[in-house]
Chain A
Amino acid sequence: MRVTTRLQEIAIRIQPRLLSFAGRLEANPIVSGLKQAFSELNLLLLGLSAILMLRTFNQWWGHFSGLATVSTQAATTILSVMSLLFVVLLTQALMNSRPDGGAITVVNVAAYAIVNARLQQVGSGNPFILACVMTAVTVGLWALLTWGQKKLAPIDSQLAALRHFLAVCVVAGYLLGLAWMMQRIPVIGMQTALGWLTMDHPFWVFVLVFVEMGLWYIGINGYGVLAPVVFLFAYRNLTVDLGAIASNRAPQAILTPNFWDYFLSFSGAGLVGALVILCLVNPNPDLKRLGRSSFSSILFSVSEPILYGLPITMNPYLLVPFLFGTPLLGVAQWFVFKLGWVALPAFHVADLPLPFSVLLSTLDWRSLVLAAVTIAVATAMYAPGLIRWSKVRPADTSDDDFTDLDVDF
């Protein structure tokens, strides 16, 4: 209990600073650009997953002989341009409809292609991180070169021609410089250094869930804050898995967006479905009502009603299981996949409700068993804290301080 009190004190102390930091982070153009680019890429990944699911179903039951070849061709083609599409989407998001947006996007795609071609010679790497770095460099350079340009307008035609000539020189110099640099940088050393950065490791799974729960605990959408960075790794892992399926190999990467959404956050961040179950069977009428009203949301992995209604945020009674228990369960799930007890969640099925999301992302009935066991363990984990909280929780009151309004509800 002393540990809980100490942790609660820390949470209260850092909450204002973290709120301010998270606000600044989410307002950052690169972070918001990443979020937008991944969101726009999602549709293509869903389509690609659907193609590969059809291919798998056909392998199981069907006899459409041509489907395997066609789907493999389609999938490999889409995967080969995936990172280029991401570069385009990210540059567009960062340029935010500026007049030079199209031209800068084209230059950035060329710059990315030059660097990626060299990196591909020595290994796979992470194209999403490379895309992010190259876009930051290219757009940053553009911002530097056009600094204060508005003050020069309007310019006459001769100056415009000169400016155009200078721009051509800058672009040619930039691309040539990149090519020259890539010939000289020890790429193999760089690959070795960055090779371990896949996040597909129990340590990173623990850190990811722990930080996410920490942010949720102080009232910040942890998923929203972490997603742009984590997606750089999770989407890379997803495309590697989809590539493996397309070429009849077994997928290897566990930490994909599906693993985060439907296993680490089964029924919502913090495995809150367990708390909904506990509320439903609790004798406290307020908790029972809360359990009923939150039930439909957990089917879509939406945790906010129970997080704020119970509440879990800043609630010392649930701090330890929420902050430490959830990451440990996440690590346990990672090992279940690693040991091959359940097929990997390699198919992207964003936004499907439970239990279809769990089942279709793995195409393995054992994933349902894993989900059931996880929620059962989480229920046992949360039970002592919730029982103690239900005894001291203040009753829900509806203070009507809206008497100034002429309403009938």
Chain B
Amino acid sequence: MTSIAIGLACNLGASTSILVGKMKQIVAGSQKLATTDVRIDAFSASCIDPEHNPYQVIMLAPQIAHREAEIKQKLATHPVPVTVINATDFGTMNAANILKTALREIKAAEAK
């Protein structure tokens, strides 16, 4: 069984926690992800710990897009893809698109 770990960060982890539930629903309904152990967590951006980062991709909510450079810098010693969630997808809680973006980022990082 393969595994995927996605981290969603915002200011306090509140708005992204709503998204986590919707993304998990998509995962549960997907047959192609049935044999994959998918972990999705929401947290405050301040809690990102480069030494103990279990995530293959960290997605930032658009309201903290201005912290992208700071977070990339923080993770410089243990780099993982850091990306800002598309504002429209985030606003409309389009969990499918956000999950696809995460999978694409992980795939691109693995291909490097």
B72: min CB distance to chain A, Å: 11
Per-position binary interface string of chain A over residues 305-321, scored 1 when its CB falls under 8 Å from any chain B CB and 0 otherwise:
11111110100000000
Docked-complex contact B46 and A311, CB < 8 angstroms: no
- Chain A interface bracket (under 10, 10 to 19, 20 to 34, 35 or more): 35 or more
Which of A19, A296, A305, A408 has a CB less than 8 Å from the CB of B66? A19
Partner pick for A305 among B18, B31, B67, B73, CB 8 A cutoff: B18
B5 at the interface (CB under 8 A from A): no
With most chain B CB atoms within 10 A of its CB, the pick from A20, A35, A300, A409 is A409
Within the complex, which residue of B29, B30, B104 is in contact with A404, where a contact is CB–CB below 8 Å? B104
Asked whether A304 lies within 8 Å of B63 as measured between CB atoms, the reply is yes
Complex interface: chain B residues within 8 A of A19 (CB): 65-66
Given A224-B64, A407-B99: 15 more A-B contacts, CB < 8 Å:
A26-B64, A26-B67, A220-B63, A221-B11, A296-B18, A297-B15, A300-B14, A305-B15, A308-B87, A398-B94, A405-B103, A405-B107, A407-B33, A407-B100, A409-B99
Tell whether A396 is near chain B: CB-to-CB under 8 Å. Answer: yes
Instruction: Provide the bound-state CA to CA distance between A396 and B68, in Å.
Output: 27
CB distance from B38 to the nearest CB of A (A): 12
Taken together as a complex, chains A and B put the C-alpha atoms of A305 and B62 apart, in Å, by: 11
CB neighbours of A300 from chain B (8 A) = 14
User: Known: A304-B15, A408-B31, A409-B29. Contact between A293 and B63, CB under 8 A?
Assistant: no
Residues of A within 8 A of B70 (CB): 23, 26-27
Q: Please give the number of chain B residues whose Cβ is less than 8 angstroms from any Cβ of chain A in the complex.
A: 39
A22 within 8 A of B: yes
The answer to whether the Cβ of A36 comes within 8 Å of any Cβ in the partner chain is yes
| Cα of A313 to Cα of B32 in the assembled complex, Å | 36
Contact status of A27 and B67, CB under 8 A, knowing A32-B46, A221-B11, A290-B92: yes
Hey, what's the 0/1 contact readout for B75-97 against A, CB within 8 Å counting as 1? 00000000000011011111011
Q: Which of B73, B91, B97, B107 contacts A304 (CB 8 A)?
A: B91
Tell me the total A-B contact number using a CB cutoff of 8 A. Answer: 111
A32, closest chain B residue (CB)? B46
A window 272-324: CB within 8 A of B: 289-290, 293, 296-297, 300, 302, 304-311, 313
In the complex, 12 of the A-B residue pairs with CB atoms within 8 angstroms, ordered by the A residue number, are: A19-B66, A23-B68, A36-B46, A216-B63, A297-B15, A302-B15, A304-B10, A305-B15, A305-B91, A310-B91, A396-B92, A409-B30
B94 / chain A contacts, CB cutoff of 8 Å:
398
Question: Is A219 located at the chain interface by the 8 A CB criterion?
Answer: yes
Chain A 136-179 interface mask (CB, 8 Å, partner B; 1/0): 00000000000000000000000000000000000000000000
Report A4 CB to chain B, min CB distance, Å. Answer: 21
A61 at interface by CB-CB < 8 Å: no
Contact (Cβ within 8 A) B63 A219: yes
Q: Which B44-71 residues have C-beta < 8 A from chain A? A: 46, 61-70
Answer whether residue A64 sits at the interface, using C-beta atoms and an 8 A cutoff.
Answer: no
Instruction: Report the minimal beta-carbon distance from A83 to chain B, rounded to whole angstroms.
Output: 22
